Copies of this chain bind each other. A is one copy, B any other.
Amino acid sequence: MAVDSLDLSADVVTLARELCDIPSVSGDETRLADAVEAALRGYPHLEVLRDGDAVLARTRLNRARRVVVAGHLDTVPVTDNLPTRLEDDVLWGRGTVDMKAGVAVQLSLAAALDAPVHDVTWVFYDHEEVDAALNGLGRVARNHPDWLAGDFAVLCEPTAGGIEGGCNGTLRAEVRLHGVAAHSARAWTGVNAVHAAGEVLRRLGAYAPATLDVEGLTYREGLNAVLIAGGRATNVIPDECVVTVNYRFAPSRSVEEATAHVREVLAGYDVVVVDAAPGARPGLDDPLAQDFAAAVLAVTGGAPAAKQGWTDVARFSSLGVPAVNFGPGDPLLAHTRDERCPVDQIVRSRAALAAWLSGARPEDLPLGLS
């Protein structure tokens, strides 16, 4: 099958439509990845790399610093919402939000910026919408960690044109309460493990979660029971009860610190950590990132905010690269049948990234809005 031709020099909204109209549901990204790779190979200022259906293109200008700008090529399944349609300056269809408008911004700038002020690595990856074990960015990080090296990363996930920085870490632990089973008609011969969970729940209910400022963004923590199970039968005094707790912790804490904190709150109990993932620093204290935030504020009006949930930015953080989310589209419309993105957000997102990477003052750049 011939490779689809993509014109990266077209206006960014046209490019976004072309990308959306090549379906690429997770697992079927090859056609789109081939088109992206072929288009990027037309630009001699870019070195193009490929791993599976992930495509990377990078400048090699020996700039002092390198920025990674990443986006995923796959979408959730199409639900009768393709091909795209443009209506009253809104682009409708699968992928317009999550996240081919963002990919269009990346490709458009990868082609246009042959002399950015920072070296740039453009990353286009597969399998983001499915099981984390399949994630293309994770695979590249394992196979070629050097490909993702950089001083700062931008993930072009939809944020409606604002910056959402870093993310909280997450830790899950099981608190096991032990008792002695007995017939409930002779309860005094047993020890009730479910009653023992009362104090654990009391501590969790009384816990005042911290709000931490990390590199200019505000992260709200939380420590919650998410599951509880205990008891064997309605005539038996329970000999075991398990409370599963989930601690969401600011990216300024390590997993070890988070573990110690949970153990301290639940001191005296049998606490076993079952999984944990560190958060991601936003890195917004870096002048490079501050320039980006200034460009975004000037062009889209979006002030930086903390990302509370765990996202792929944490994959960059685990490689030592601070990262933020930034892209066109309302994240609440992602995955919906009515997925749609205002043209203005696509254009302004491109303009903000362009201003930052070209070193221009945002106000000096034409937005290209009619």
Contacts and interface: CB of A to CB of B under 8 A. Distances in A.
Interface of A: 168, 170, 172, 183-188, 192, 194-202, 204-205, 209, 220, 222, 224-231, 233-238, 241, 243-244, 246, 248, 308-310
Contacts of A222: 184-188
Contact of A238 (B172, B185, B227): B227
Contact of A198 (B204, B226, B234): B204
Contact of A201 (B201, B234, B237, B310): B201
Given A222-B185, A248-B185, A230 B227 contact: yes
B227 A231 contact: yes
A246 B184 contact: yes
Given A225-B231, A226-B231, A227-B238, A192 B205 contact: yes
Given A202-B198, A234-B246, A187 B228 contact: no
Report copies per complex. Answer: 2
A187 B209 contact: yes
25 contacts: A168-B185, A170-B184, A172-B234, A184-B226, A184-B248, A185-B308, A186-B220, A186-B308, A188-B209, A188-B220, A192-B224, A192-B225, A194-B201, A194-B243, A195-B204, A195-B205, A195-B225, A198-B198, A198-B200, A198-B204, A225-B230, A226-B234, A226-B238, A228-B231, A231-B244
B244 A234 contact: yes
A309 B185 CA distance: 5
Given A187-B209, A228-B230, 11 more contacts: A183-B309, A192-B225, A194-B226, A194-B227, A194-B228, A195-B224, A196-B205, A201-B201, A225-B230, A226-B233, A228-B228
